Amino acid sequence: MKEKIIFYDDEKNNEFSGITKNTISVDKSFKYIKKGFFHSALTFIVYRIIMTPIAYLWSKLKFGLKVKNKGVLSQHRKDGYFIFSNHTLMAGDAFIPNIYAFPKKVYMVVHPDNISTKGTKGFIMMCGAIPTPTSIDGYRGFLSAVEQRIKEGGAVCVYPEAHIWPYYTKIRDFSDTSFAYPVKLDAPVFSATVTYTKRRLRKTPRATVYIDGPFYPCKELKPREAQKELRNRVYSTMVDRSQHSTYERIKYVKRETEADERSYHDTDNIRR
């Protein structure tokens, strides 16, 4: 089997999910949280009766999922907290947090593309999506939704790398922007590092998730400094945990010139 290679130029901005959509508008008119008995009942059915079992079976059967150090989450069983994870799977990044955080409900900060497929917006929102705004006037509603979910005792999952790099085994550099949420809300943070190892007779690698934390915002620092310091602790931990990956399903190569890519002409290249 030929080695698969992806060439990249910018680890912070290149996207390799292969998905393009007509992104819907998420502005001040967007309704993040709906109320009412009927909607609550339907949400329970969608999340607990349909999605959670599918997530469990899919994660176990496709990836042989293992979770290490899950017990640290029990320290905040009744409290809301944030989870920061590396972004390396399509459906897996939506499913796997619901396995290790169970029975807590997981809400995910997602790109608006995730709710842009016609006819799926309501279902995805019931599954816990919190789409980022597409305009400045939408941030008030977005931040209010994040705050409410934390106060309700939920887990808010963030993928600070922002873009999907399938099966990538390292941790990409990411900004401290999203760490403003736990600093503002004085909420605990956990990291979830997905790693990959080769399995016998299976092309798809085993996924093992390492949970670490809790990390708390430093109250002695000013908010902006605490945000950066918190990011650095989480990033360092994820980099250390990523060393447990021993199998590259896809090789990522930084492209400096077009000649770099042409030098791999005999391999099974995947181009941007």
Q: Report pLDDT for 116.
A: 83
Residue 193 and residue 238 in contact, taking contact as beta carbons nearer than 8 Å: yes
pLDDT for 257 equals 60
Residue 244 is predicted with a pLDDT of 97
pLDDT at 271: 47
Q: Where are the domains of the chain?
A: 4-270
Instruction: Tell me the residue length of the chain.
Output: 272
Query: Is the link from the previous residue into 217 a cis peptide, with omega within 30 of 0?
Result: no
CATH class of the domain comprising 4-270:
alpha beta
Query: Residue 241: how many CB atoms within 10 A of its CB?
Result: 23
With a cut of 70, list the residues of the chain below it in pLDDT: 1-3, 19-21, 257-272
Q: What is the pLDDT of residue 21?
A: 65
Distance between CA atoms of 68 and 88, rounded to whole angstroms?
Answer: 18
Q: What is the pTM of this model?
A: 0.90
- The CA-CA-CA angle for residues 249, 56, 88, to 5°, reads 30
Element holding 231 (H helix, E strand): helix 223-242
Distance CA 212, CA 216 (A): 12
Tokens of 186: 């004085």
The pLDDT score that the predictor gives to residue 264 is 57
What stretch of H or E contains 147? helix 139-151
